[in-house]
Amino acid sequence: VSRHDDYYSGNFYFDKTSKKKKKKKKKKKKKKKKKKKKKKKKKKKKKKKKKKKKKKKKKKKTGQRHAHRIFPCYSKKKNQDVKKTYTREDGFETLSRTI
């Protein structure tokens, strides 16, 4: 009796032992293509135009302006006993302590 006849007569069943199990084919994973990163274009900075500054006229400084720093005899502080001259170790008299 062919299997075909058995099938229709109702005696048909699958013999699981005799039938070879079909191996499931493993699906190959598709490799994802790496997206190339687009390089960002650097924005060029606009250069600011520099405004020309008007030159201020320099006032001529009179030599007495900072004189009180070096020469205490020119000091603006009032009521101060100021030596007009300083004597150095070698006996030389000067107006300032530094010279």
For 16, other C-beta atoms within 10 Å of its C-beta total 7
Q: What is the pLDDT of residues 31-65, one digit of tens each?
A: 888 888 888 888 888 888 888 888 888 776 665 66
- pTM flag (> 0.85): no
- Report CA-CA distances (Å) from 29 to 15, 26, 70: 34, 9, 89
